[in-house]
């Protein structure tokens, strides 16, 4: 599955942010090895951070007995990241806009918006406990 032109991993990880960060670092290294532009690497890193923190903290509520399934595929022109937690999910269609005046000082609620802005595509399953994010390589100017 892994070759000089791509990198992929599928695994279940514990609800532990340190383990999640190791997975993000592996993904960043794979993108760097495939000469992805720095801005794209940063966007994927930020989106993965948001998604994994949401899965661990909000989805699994840091429960040690719950896992987060992660499947990542890094190719020359596209990266795909699937993250699924064991939580009850959330209504991703009705997330409050964190840029509205009355929400600007609230610390939560920005992750879904950030993921949408940073990635080329993002889709949640119906119950909201699984996210698939796609990033297409930026075109050099």
pLDDT at 45: 98
Between 38-53 and 17-33, two packed helices, what is the crossing angle to 10 degrees? Answer: 160
| Helix, strand, or coil (residue 25) | helix
pLDDT in tens, 41-62: 999 999 999 999 999 999 999 9
pLDDT at 75: 97
pLDDT at 16: 97
pLDDT at 93: 79
Ranges under pLDDT 70 in the chain: 1-4, 95-109, 140-141
pLDDT at 106: 62
pLDDT at 96: 63
Q: What is the dihedral of CA 34, 27, 80, 139, to 10 degrees?
A: -40
Contact of 54 with 113, CB cutoff 8 Å: no
Contact of 108 with 116, CB cutoff 8 Å: no
Domains of the chain: 6-136 (3.30.565.10)
Q: How many CB atoms lie within 10 A of CB 72?
A: 22
pLDDT at 18: 97
pTM over 0.85: yes
Cβ neighbors of 69 (< 8 A, separation 6 or more) are 10, 11, 12, 82, 83, 84, 85
Quote the CA–CA distance of 80 and 3 in Å, as a whole number: 16
């Amino acid at each position: 599955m892994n070759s000089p032109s791509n990198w992929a991993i599928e695994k279940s990880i514990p609800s532990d942010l340190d383990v999640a960060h190791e997975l993000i670092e592996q993904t960043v290294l794979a993108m760097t090895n495939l000469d992805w532009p720095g801005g794209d690497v940063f966007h994927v890193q930020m989106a993965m951070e948001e998604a994994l923190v949401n899965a661990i903290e909000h989805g699994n509520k840091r429960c040690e007995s719950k896992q987060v399934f992660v499947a990542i595929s890094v190719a020359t022109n596209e990266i795909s990241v699937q993250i699924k937690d064991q939580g009850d999910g959330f209504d991703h269609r009705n997330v409050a806009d964190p840029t509205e005046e009355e929400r600007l000082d609230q610390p939560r609620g920005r992750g879904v918006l950030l993921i949408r802005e940073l990635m080329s595509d993002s889709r949640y399953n119906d119950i909201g406990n699984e996210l698939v994010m796609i990033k297409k390589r930026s075109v050099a100017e």
